[in-house]
Structure 1
Amino acid sequence: MPADPATPASERASPPSLDRAARALRGSWPALDERRLAGWLLGFSEGFTRRANSVWMLDAVEDLQSSVGAVEEAYRVRGLPSRFLTTDSSDVDEVAALRAFGYVTSLSGGILARSLGPTDGRGQPLPAAHPSAFVSVSGPQLPSDWLDAWLAWNGRRLPSDRRLAPRILSQGTPSFLSVSVDGSLAATARLSVVDGLGVVDCLVTDRASRGRGYARLLLERAQHEALALGASSCLAMVVDGNDASLRLFERLGYRRLGAFRYLEGPDRTSCC
């Protein structure tokens, strides 16, 4: 199906570079504890989500072997796997070295972007089959019902999930979007604007409410909010295999800037 973005391409800004997009993605989901190691930024968040517990390769390091060793030790003492988030803009020699050290891809996907224009955000009408449905936007305080729904739909039921999620999701000045039907949440999304780029994540629809266009409504509303907050483009990360999500973004004019990959190191713990 062809894309049907609301604003003609000629009226939209140019898409961001992959490197700039990666930095915005990091800033939208910061770790609770961060440590700089030359050009690398190590994130620690007690294991809650990959993005908040990975090394972002922002710039090069001089001594690669000793730097990898320092990374592995930093994560080992915290009981976490050593994991790097790489993109197509990461230093190819550093990525090749990680592969040589035994790092393998544990998750991959695409970084998508859509430039915004003056008419973005003119949302579609809500489905007639659900006249009581409506879209709401709140923030930066995280609504408790939004958190409850997002955790449940993602299968996150540990006490630590409920403790850590608000600390990560509420950082910065995020907007929390939702679709409610008959008083109950049916879909959620989150928007952060970092360095003039809107980052959309946490886009989830309750299984019983899928196929009714709620995710599209939230994405269109997120674009409208991002534009109002000064963003020139919107970004998203879509994991490989999530074809439904990819089709949604492509229908709204999102294009792939490049790939992301989580590279996870081997367990080097001695047996004795």
Structure 2
Amino acid sequence: MRRGWPAIRETTVDGWIARLSDGVTRRANSVLPVHCPNDLADAIGRVEELYRGLGLPPVFQLGPAARPSGLDSALARRGYEVRTPTIVQVAPIADVLRRTPPPHREVRVSNRPDSSWLDLWWEVDGRGGHESRAIAHEILTGGEALYAASEDRHGTAAVGRLALVGSWAGVYCMAVRPDARRRGHASAILHGLLERAVELGSEHAWLQVTADNVAARDLYERLGFVTRSSYHYRCFR
């Protein structure tokens, strides 16, 4: 998942990976604690100094593999608060394709996002001004990925991104124009992306969905995705 949404820059803090992207998205501006530091308190302090020196809040992404195992509790005692509980779901791509009918509308799939793709995604899910959008574009295109879009008579109706990482494909940036929702655009976008990914050698898909997004979870579960993990962020107040 780290490779599917790459930060602009990474550095290490005593075995932890600190991701830095000028504040655009928590995922690309948080610490991934993949190893046990030699001194926990010192490592947390160094993280805080690093992020605050760049004008960013210190943030940790914490899942079952976070190290050390007591990091979540240590951050809570230090005043870090829980943000954005998220579940991780996976599925064999072949199973998802069997559950999604071929789209009845054209879905364009390309290797780069064009301006109309970016316009819709930013309108639905973007945060910040022109500078933030430019950084987001750099994150989006920082690794191999596919970009899909479908249209209706009003223009681009839905978009989606699929990160390609070995035999895995990660679903990101699923966005539907508000007035075009509940018309099959999301499933059409997903089908188009996964169909193309199979041609490129992908076998399994993953996605991340916030725990409180019941509608999206219901859709993905109907398509064969099952929950395999979860994570949340700890952000300093």
Q: TM-score normalized by structure 1?
A: 0.81
Provide Cα deviations, 1:104-145, integer angstroms capped at 9, x if missing partner: 101111011112338937852445xxxxx4211011x32111
Letter in 2 for 1:135: V
Unaligned runs of 5+ in 2: none
Q: CA deviation at 1:67?
A: 0.4
Shift of residue 66, structure 1, vs aligned partner: 0.4
Matched, 1:69 2:69: no
Partner of 1:262: 233
Corresponding residue SS for 1:26:
coil
Deviations 1:223-254 (A, max 9, x none): 22232222221011101211111111100110
The 1-side partners of 2:102 and 2:41 are apart by 56
- Amino acid in the other structure paired with 1:138: S
TM-score between the two structures when normalised by the length of structure 2: 0.92
- Match runs of 1:124-163 below 5 Å: 124-127=101-104, 133-139=105-111, 141-156=112-127, 158-163=129-134
Separation of aligned partners in 1, 2:96 and 2:56 = 45
Measure the CA separation in 1 of the matches of 2:74 and 2:127: 34
1:1-272 pair list within 5 angstroms: 25-91=1-67, 92-117=69-94, 120=97, 124-127=101-104, 133-139=105-111, 141-156=112-127, 158-182=129-153, 184-266=155-237
| Residue aligned with 2:219, SS | helix
CA distance in 2, matches of 1:169, 1:155: 12
Give 1 or 2 for the bigger CA radius of gyration.
1
Task: Give the Cα separation in 1 of the matches to 2:234 and 2:37.
Answer: 17
Q: Which amino acid in 2 is paired with 1:76?
A: R
Conserved? CA contact 1:105–1:264, under 8 Å:
yes
Q: Stretches of 4+ moved more than 3 A in 1?
A: 117-123
Q: For 2:183 and 2:206, how far apart are their aligned partners in 1?
A: 23
Distance change >3 Å, CA 247–CA 119, structure 1 → 2: closer
Q: CA deviation at 1:183?
A: 6.4
Deviation of 1:156 after TM superposition, in Å, equals 3.3
Q: Which amino acid aligns with 1:107?
A: T
Contact 1:136 1:177 in 2 (8 A): yes
> CA contact under 8 A between 1:86 and 1:260: conserved in structure 2?
yes
The answer to which structure has the higher strand fraction is 2
CA RMSD of aligned residues (A): 1.9
In structure 2, the residue matched to 1:19 is none
* Secondary structure at the counterpart of residue 58 of structure 1: coil
